Each structure stands twice: as C-alpha cells, then as structure tokens.
Structure 1
Amino acid sequence: MGIESDYPAPALAGATRAFTYGLSIDVMAILQRGDNRRAADATVAKTDLGLLWQEWQVIAQARQLFVKAVHADEVMPLLVRQRDLSAERYRRIAAAVEARNQPADALSAALTAMQDAGRQLAEAQRQRVQTRHDLNALLGVAPAIELPLVGSPAPAPVDPHAVDDALRELPHRRPDLLALEAGYAAQQAKYRGAILGQFPNLTVGFVRMRDTSNVYTSGFQVNLSLPIFNRNRGNIEIEEATRGRLHDEYQNRLAQAQSEVDRLLADTAVLEQQLAAAQAALPELDQAAGAAQQAYGQHDLGIGAYTDAQIAALGKRIEAETLGESLAEQRIALQALLGDVVPSAQRPDLIYTTTHADS
C-alpha cells in the first residue's frame, strides 16, 4: 500500500492538493506462501520429534540402570559369601600353618584368593553406588534416597521375525528418523521457494489519483523486476546442497541403525548360549557344594576342599547373574534401536509431500 501527497505552490491560484493512493499485491509472495508454510510446519515437527527421541533415550538409559541396580542387589550377597568363605579358609590355613600342620605355601594361595574376593566385592560395591547415583540423577531424585526397585529386570526374548518387521517399519517408528524426514521436507519446501525466486517478481495493484487541477483518475499498475544478473542462483545452490546433505544424513542414520541391530542380534545370540551353558552347569556344582558341606559338617572333608566347592558354585552363579544382566541390557538397547521403547511415534497429523528417494 502506498500514499503520496503533493502540495501546489501558493502562487498557483485554484490549484488543489494532489494525491495518489495505491494498493498492490506481491504475486510472488502468494506463490511462495504454501512452501513457506510447509517449511514452518515441518520445522516444528522436526523439533518435536527430536525432543521425543531424547525422551526415548532417557527411557532406555533408565531401564538399563534399573537392570544394573537390580543385578547389583542380587549378586551382592553372593560376593559377600564368597569373601567370607575365602577369609575363613585363610584363617583356618593360617592357624594350621602356625601349628605346623600345613605347608607355608598353602597360606600364600589362600591369602591371594581372599584378597581377590575382597577386591571383587569392593568393585561391585562401588559400581552399585555409582549405578544408584546415576539412576537418581536421571530421575531427578536426591542422591541420598534409596529407591525401592520393583519388577523383573529381564525384557522379553527377541523374536527374529518381529525384528525383521520392526526393521521394515523403522523409518515410520524411530523419532530421530522421522525428525530427519521432517527436516528434509522443510528443506525441500525452501528449495522450491528458492527456485521460484529466480523468476521476475511481479506486483499488481489498484491506483487512485487526483492532480492539482482537481482531476480524478483511477487505474492499475504492474511492477516487474527482472533478475538479469543474479537470478537467485546462489540461494538455489545453497538450498540444494543442504537438501542433499540431509538426504545423505538420513540414509547414513538408517544404515547405521540396521548395522547396530545386526551387531546386537549377534551379541545377544552369543550371550544366550553362554548363559544357557552357565545355567546348565549350576545344578551339578550346587550338588557338589551341598555334598561338600555335608561332608565338612561330619569332619570328613578339609577346609580347602569344602571352600573350593562352595566358591565354585558361587562363582558360576555370579557368572550366570552377570551374563543375565548383559543379556538384558543388550535387549533393551535393541528395543531402543528398533523404536520399541514406547508406542509408535508416528504422527498421523503430519503429511510429508516429499520422499527421500528424491535427490
């Protein structure tokens, strides 16, 4: 909209004030309005989905810390029992060596075993404190609060067919991939806007005028700016390069996710085999430990053999607990990669007009 007013010189008798009123419309702005709106909507969606992906990561991290904390609570009594047995064996052997009923080299081996058990327990205690601290910090709870942990830490076993289905649906479930798709859609809209910017800028409007002789006229005006030299080529190249970078980033993220899923599946298979072997060996070791305890109670077995049988059973149980923790963490990481931490992040209200097949 434009307003112009002219005043005649005082010497001109009978002259009136002249004015010009004009109302014009930028046609190019109307043509670019749709692209600008799509770019803004996609940018908002990208921000929302990026925040949702961060929330998913926090959920997965909290679940892994929960698994670690529960494992620490379950394995701690086993480590304490292992340390106490090693300490008891050392005291008995030390007394026997002092009474010259045992050779001196037996005491050195018992001392080493007791120290190893003590170090293992101390390391587990430090890890438990660190895990509890990290979990409280993640949940926004004061460090001094001991959270009661309820529920089973073991996720459901992995179904290979479900993994294949989840991989196919991955671009429609993972918030980070959806965010990249929204960013690509926003950049595509900006690229189209830059292409429109290379054409002449057209402005049309209505004009109402009155000259100094009090004559009224009405008409229209057309303004056309010709981009003779620039033609907006610089902005077009920038937007096109940015679009290509986002396309490559999306493809790389998708390929990386598939590679990580394959690695976790392979690791999970190995851990499942190791855990099955450890659990299969437990009954025999428990039976041997029970027999050793009975013989020791009847004074038919020495402290060394009794302690070795008990520690062997405890060590295999600790190994099984540790493998179970690692397996649970791998399954949680796999669920996070497959976008299965919480229900689908698909936003039906967002419609992207471009695909990543474009380049």
Structure 2
Amino acid sequence: MAEASSSSAPAPPLDPEAIAAVADAAPPEEMTLVAKWKGQDYTVQVVGDDTLGELKRRICEVTGVLPKRQKLLYPKFKLMECEDSGLISSIPFKPGVKINMIGTVEDEIFVDQEDDPDILDDYEIGQNEATAIKDKDVYKQKLKRRASQYKIKILNPCRKGKKLLVLDIDYTLFDHRSSAENPNELMRPYLHEFLSAVYAEYDIMIWSATSMKWVEMKMDQLGVLGNPNYKITALMDHLAMITVQSENQSEKKTFDCKPLGVIWAQCPEYYNETNTIMFDDLRRNFVMNPQNGLVIKPYKRTHSNRKTDHELVKLTQYLLTIAELEDFSKLDHNAWESFTENAKRRRHR
C-alpha cells in the first residue's frame, strides 16, 4: 500500500474558489477510479467538478464504508490532508489509477453530523443566497447526475393525485442526542397521529443525511414501517445528497443538501415542485429547492419537552389546509402558522 513519505512536499491547497469557477466551464468529463479495499478493487465514476467528499460517497456506495470513516491514500500525494470540499480536478488523479482505502464498516445508530468540520451555520443561508446556489449550472449538473445514479428505496407504490411530504429524521421526528432505554422515549410527540392524518392527502418519504441502515433501523424501532394506519412510500439516505458551496463572499464553505429534483426526476408522473413539501430542521438541506422547504422547530431534550411539544399537531392542520391548493411553490412556508390561523378564521366566518 503506497503512501507519500513524511519528507515529501505538503499537499497543495485546494482553492475553494475553483468550485464556483467550474460553473462557467465546459461540461466535465467522467473519470473512472479504482478504490482498493481489503484486497478487492471497486470501480467508481466521478467527474472533475465533483468534490473529494462526493468521491467518498461513491466509494461508500460500493463498499459500505461511510465517508467519515474513510482514509484515502494516493501515491506521491497527501490525499488524507485534503479537505472534502476540494474538487477532483484539483487533485492529480490519473484515469483508472488505484486509490488505497482504509476504513471499517460499522453499525451506526447515532451519527453526530454536527461534529463534521465543514458543516455550515444554518442561519448563514438566506433566501437570495439560496436562489443563487440553485440556479448555478454546476449544481444543476450534479443534480442530474445524482438523479441518474441514485436508486430511491421504494417501499409502497406512489399514489396518483396525492401530494408529497418529505421528512427528515434527526431533530425533526426524533431526538437523536438524548439518551433513553426505549427509542419511543426519543420519538417526537404525536408522530403516529401526524403521519396517519396526513397520509390521507400525502405520500410520505423519509430522507435522512445518514446511512440507509440507520434510516431503516430507526423507522422500524419507532413503529413507522409497517404501521397499519399509514404507509411510507420510500426511504432515502445521504447518498442522494449533493455538495454545494455557500455564496457568502467573506467565507465560502461547502455543505451537503437534499435536492428534491432527485425525486422529481425519478417520479415525474407523480411529484414536482407544485405538489411537494419538505420538513427539515436545517434550512441548508433544501437550498436547491427553497420554495418547497419548511423549517421545523428542532425537537431536542426530549425528557424536558415531551409534554409541551405540539409542533406536529399544528403542522398537521397546515398540511391538510394547503392540500387543497394546486401549487405549493407559491406559498411562503416561513409563514405557515399565520396561514393556518387565517384559514381557520375564514372557515368560522
């Protein structure tokens, strides 16, 4: 297994400005790389405007080793010192070359995403910045590739004429930081009542920024899968996400987001921007589709807040109210509470 010696020159810095510059370049060419792990070769496809973090996602797809557990070694280049935000085009890869990978497959129950160094402060993402990000050609190309590569885990058939509700897990449906003997103690209050009520009008997909194993395990333990009162249409994990860069001129950072276009491209006869809404406690996760995202109040400290958290009860009313509308993309989901109150007043006149 080859690795650069300590006397070799330090790895060149990967300029974050290069990410934005790629948007004006010609369409990137696909590159084939081989990851060698535990004596076996795994072929992955990347392009120049992919980041090192996205390469790790591709390796995760074929090996099962989560990106945060991977150490990549490349001859004569200190790959482990490179930031995940660096572009593949900034690394002197040769097509078909082998990358040695060290990593362990492990069962992850709690994934501390907030500990990752490149996470962007959610409140730095404003409406104008979100629009600038989603309109860049480089991210549109990434979305197109992700939609063609990723396979949504369909559990139940899509239903014609239904709206689509996409739900995050951590801090949206589940307090993943508090400790408890029973997973139900960490479940957000009224979860099953909420899902049962909105199922009448919405297909429901669960999309977590963690591994599929975690998604299936938690949803099963919470009694969401196989519930007799509603059906989950599909599950999605971190491999469906894409990496983008903030437009903050003072400090550009990269972060992952959940582009709904992956779903719309694979299920065009059922869902689109007019009938889809996503709940997430992090605004950055729907930066590619800001008009379709609703920032839900994070559910934390379950032992203190279990008796007072009524967020899902109130959001049930909102979802059932807007289900009558033809176009969700024209709504301001930031004002969802006042919208619900105004609708209630109109009904009682």
Same fold? TM cut 0.5: no
TM-score bracket, shorter-length normalisation: under 0.3
Which has the larger share of helix?
1
TM-score computed with the length of structure 2 as normaliser:
0.18
| Higher RCO, Cα 8 Å, sep 6+ | 1
TM-score computed with the length of structure 1 as normaliser:
0.18
